Chain A
């Protein structure tokens, strides 16, 4: 009885929610719109919303002038490899903690989490110094490793919460049938774990893509990903709104699309399984 909502109330909900949703989304929408304007139209007063001459000129200029493709490539490499490397290290660990738990499993998980909470700025100089000593300042491999390490606790945690949901009886049955550990992992566990691993990869790729402390502090030219490229627009180029918008749109578009697929995983991943 109480669930029968009047259509009037539903209409009001819809109107209010859409208004607020559009308000929150507006800065992104405005950036995307502005990227198709000329510079003059971008700063026009009163602002032009849709009635302007759509142009791709800004995208062309940004690509030509700034070697955009290299920054994009760096982002893809750093986010991609740090995620893959992290998953390779984390899968066995999460598997063993989920299926062969010992008295110390909980402590190890919590300790891993605690390394994630170490403020980056507290170890800025040591990492900076190590990079200089090893000659890997402004180097993609160094960033892959560092970003893998800062996300590793989240990867282990996410995988652990997914693996724990796989019923242990299935493994026992496989073992009874004489499956070796290797076969057990390969043929029984992996197919069931794939969705969890995929979600973990997705969320961590996003986190790595957007990481903006180490990428800003440890790169200059060669290894700089999109986060650093955008920061270089700070001034005075930032005053060219249309070009700034085009650069920004290109930097966020791929991740916005991936992000929409990962809404559910976001909650689990960032609350360490405490909210599901």
Chain B
């Protein structure tokens, strides 16, 4: 039924969204690319000319590059492992019959709606403060010396905070996936005498694999760019400087735009590698 008329109307209706997103993507991206090849120091002489691949080489050979990759991997990897592992367990638990299921679900999901600066600050001060924090009270209660969380085990502390924020997301998506599981299949397995572990391993887990992949990819993209949690807690100190934070510091703190932009290009490439896999899954879903 789509006439020529409605086709051109459709194109017109799409135009504003496509246009603004195109500008939003191309202009800053083009500028970042341009700056990445310049020696550009706004506070120390401005644009000092073409730099070739200098910024790209200097960014990866600087002494802070590999530590930043290390902290990025630990934080992203740690949060992924924790949220997916406990997410599966929690989703299976919430799928069981119980009293007050709706309320429990609300309690579990709540952290996702807390703004990142609040959760970072609440954890940093009220829980992880070495003298007055609740965890310090708890440690002392058991006769242990309080841990100075953010300087003694900084990466672990940040993984803990970020996992708390993202566990609801993983749980909710995995729960949605579990609820779409055909219960006949499980009942059949149960009647055939398949023990719990086998039912989990051969029926539930394969059914969840697509949802797990989606959680993994979406979280990776968001986790690669976490910022507020580090900004508020350690400010990048104690080895918590992730790639994102390193670029932020190069750009806004030390105002070395060329170097920061080269880092930005690396970050964009990295995110795109993850994004390609996610798009493939999402794209497949569009066809059906």
Contact = CB atoms under 8 A, between A and B. Distances in A.
A18 to B, nearest CB: 6
B191 A2 contact: yes
Interface string A72-110: 000000000000000001101101110110100010111
Interface stretch (B49-57, B73-81, B107-115): B107-115
Nearest to A120: B225
Contact of B125 (A108, A130, A149, A244): A244
A141 interface: no
A97 B14 contact: yes
A45 B214 contact: no
Interface in B163-198: 164, 167-169, 172-173, 176-177, 183, 186-187, 190-191
Contacts of B105: 21, 263
Q: Is the interface on chain B under 10, 10 to 19, 20 to 34, or 35 or more residues?
A: 35 or more
Given A124-B251, A275-B211, A27 B119 contact: yes
Contacts, number: 315
B71 interface: no
Given A17-B98, A100-B10, A125 B251 contact: yes
Nearest to B129: A239
Interface stretch (B1-9, B59-67, B151-159): B1-9
Contacts of A21: 103-105, 107-108
Interface in A223-276: 226-228, 230-231, 233-234, 238-239, 241, 244-245, 248, 251-252, 255-256, 258-260, 263, 266-267, 270-276
A168 B50 CA distance: 56
A129 B35 CA distance: 12
Contacts of B9: 96, 100, 181
B111 A28 contact: yes
A271 to B, nearest CB: 5
Contacts of B210: 274-275
Contacts of B232: 231, 234
Interface stretch (A60-68, A188-196, A207-215): A207-215
B147 interface: no
A43 interface: yes
Contacts of B113: 206, 210, 252, 255-256, 258-259
Contact of B248 (A14, A46, A121): A121
Given A27-B111, A89-B17, A255-B113, A14 B100 contact: yes
A5 B114 CA distance: 36
17 contacts: A25-B107, A25-B111, A27-B123, A100-B7, A112-B21, A113-B282, A118-B271, A120-B227, A125-B264, A130-B28, A152-B20, A156-B17, A212-B228, A231-B231, A245-B122, A263-B105, A274-B214
Interface of B: 1-2, 6-7, 9-11, 13-14, 16-18, 20-21, 24-25, 27-29, 31-32, 35, 90, 93-94, 96-101, 103-119, 121-127, 129, 132, 134, 137, 140-141, 164, 167-169, 172-173, 176-177, 183, 186-187, 190-191, 210-211, 214, 218, 221, 224-225, 227-228, 231-232, 244, 247-248, 251-252, 257, 260-261, 264-265, 267-268, 270-272, 274-275, 278-279, 281-283, 285-287
Interface of A: 1-3, 5, 9-10, 13-14, 16-18, 20-22, 24-25, 27-28, 30-31, 34, 43, 45-47, 89-90, 92-93, 95-97, 99-100, 102, 106, 108-110, 112-115, 117-130, 149, 152-153, 156, 172, 175, 181, 206, 209-210, 212-213, 216-217, 226-228, 230-231, 233-234, 238-239, 241, 244-245, 248, 251-252, 255-256, 258-260, 263, 266-267, 270-276
